Amino acid sequence: MAMSRLSALWRGTGPAAATAINATPSSVAASRPPTTVPHVTSAPAEAIETGQALPTGVEPILKPATDTISPPSTPAASFSVDPAPEIEPWSPARPSSSTAEKGKKNGRVSRSQPSYEVDELGRRKNYPTHVPLNAGQNALLAVGSGLWGVMNYATRPDLIATLSETTSSSFLSTLHEHMSMTPEGRQILRDRPTLSSKTVNLDYLRGLRRGTLGREYVEWLDRDGITPDSREVVRYIDSPSLAYTMLRYRQTHDLYHTLFCLPPTLVHELSLKVVEWANMRLPAAALSSTFGPLRLSAKRRRMWAQDWVPWALRQGEMGRTLNAVYWEKRWEQGIGELRRELGVERMNDHKVESRWRGYRVLREMERDLRRKGEWIDEPEEW
């Protein structure tokens, strides 16, 4: 009787199986028909799996079910259990938006480590070249670079760069704000272009006509053996946005030389620092233009203060913010037209020109090109 119930259960589901399970021994005996049970031959399960037809009187042997059994008319459904959410180690820094979005897409609780580097002392680096400093270290570095850099202005540009970074944090915020006030400056802050030999096609600039900004810029570089890669990277400014503002100022410095037609001599470098101070209010420019002239003789220092300082202050105060000019979009523009657009002009005093040989050579070269008709721009004051 027990075997009968088990056989009914084994053969399938339905009313017969339910009756076999719930029946008692007496009820099973009473319900058993008086006829003789015919002999049934069992077929192996392999015959069913291969789809072979079974002869009459042969009943299949079913294997025990290991998966969920669905009705024959419905395909078997597959079920999977999602693993528990992985919780990564907690970090005090807020994860970036890309990390958070990735966690949402994966259905995970994401508290991933932030994507920044640390230096050998375990201090957080906000950008690849960043060197974190505390207030005491910053002050010490500013004093040291100021004392040595200003007195060795021509031979230690790295110290001047350090001085500008360690003394300009609050002033850079103002410069950054001024850049964001113009459409051109805002586009620079969005695009963050850089000037280097990898980003500027110098051969293309050499193919432009004389008098264009791009051609005069590359002529200035080639004449003095300078490359766009000669400027120092930014290290000691914590904010990545302000670090880029400083980098932009540093990389476009040679374009200021081109704009004002100033050779890279000490006198004209100091004059350009006065322009930068009046235009952008950077402390390093003020310190350089204050202590740098000590390297000149007393006579030349008086001549410089008389000839160049008033002109430089006037250009810096009257002109547009130079750091907010998208120079890369103006390579083909005439340099004289660009000066008029920015509200600046070169030194046009012939007496001053006659006293400073380096500047006089550049002006005479331009006049010669104008006479030959090789200068693209319309004449300015000769």
Instruction: Note down the domain range covering 251.
Output: 135-371
- Residues flagged as binding site: 253-254, 257, 269
Share of the chain above pLDDT 70, in %: 66
* Weakest-pLDDT range from 26-35, 111-120, 225-234, 239-248: 26-35
The pLDDT confidence band at residue 359, using thresholds 50, 70 and 90, is very high
pLDDT for 287 equals 84
For residue 323, give the DSSP letter: G
Task: Please give the average per-residue pLDDT across 246-257, as a whole number.
Answer: 95
Residue 151 lies in a domain: yes
pLDDT for 85 equals 36
Residue 326 lies in a domain: yes
Per DSSP, the residues of 62-105 read PPPP-S----TTSPPP---PPPPPP-PPP-SSPPPHHHHHHHHH
CA–CA dist 51, 130 (Å, integer): 72
* Weakest-pLDDT range from 101-105, 144-148, 343-347: 101-105
* Weakest-pLDDT range from 39-53, 71-85, 184-198, 323-337: 71-85
**Cα atoms found within 13 Å of the Cα of residue 57, Cβ hemisphere only:** 5
Residue 156 lies in a domain: yes
**Phi, psi of 80, deg, nearest 5:** -135, 145
- Total domains in the chain come to 1
Residue 29 lies in a domain: no
pLDDT for 53 equals 53
User: 382 is written with which tokens?
Assistant: 């000769």
Residue 250 lies in a domain: yes
Task: Please give the average per-residue pLDDT across 13-34, as a whole number.
Answer: 46
Share of the chain above pLDDT 90, in %: 48
- Residues flagged as binding site for Zn(2+): 253-254, 257, 269
pLDDT above 80 (res 184) = yes
**Which residues are bridge partners to 41 per DSSP?**
58
pLDDT above 70 (res 280) = yes
User: 240 is written with which tokens?
Assistant: 């990545």
pLDDT above 80 (res 179) = yes
Task: Please give the average per-residue pLDDT across 15-23, as a whole number.
Answer: 44
Give the containing element (helix H, strand E) for 42.
Answer: strand 41-43
Considering only residues 379 and 373, tell me which one the structure prediction assigns the higher pLDDT: 373
pLDDT for 311 equals 98
Task: Please give the average per-residue pLDDT across 212-224, as a whole number.
Answer: 95
pLDDT for 254 equals 95
The pLDDT confidence band at residue 162, using thresholds 50, 70 and 90, is confident
**Mean pLDDT estimate for the chain:** 77
pLDDT for 25 equals 46
Q: Which range among 159-173, 223-237, 297-311 has the greatest average pLDDT?
A: 297-311
CB atoms within 10 A of CB 355: 15
Q: H helices of the chain, where? A: 2-11, 15-22, 25-31, 45-49, 97-106, 135-151, 157-166, 169-179, 183-191, 202-206, 213-224, 240-251, 253-260, 266-280, 283-291, 298-307, 309-318, 335-342, 350-355, 357-371
Residue 85 lies in a domain: no
Non-local (6+) Cβ contacts of 354 within 8 A are 360
The candidate with the shortest Cα–Cα distance to 220, out of 205, 233, 238, 234, is 205
pLDDT for 150 equals 66
pLDDT for 381 equals 53
Residue 297 lies in a domain: yes
CA–CA dist 261, 308 (Å, integer): 13
Cα–Cα distances in angstroms (integers) from residue 86 to residues 19, 106, 167, in the given order: 48, 10, 46
Considering only residues 24 and 89, tell me which one the structure prediction assigns the higher pLDDT: 24
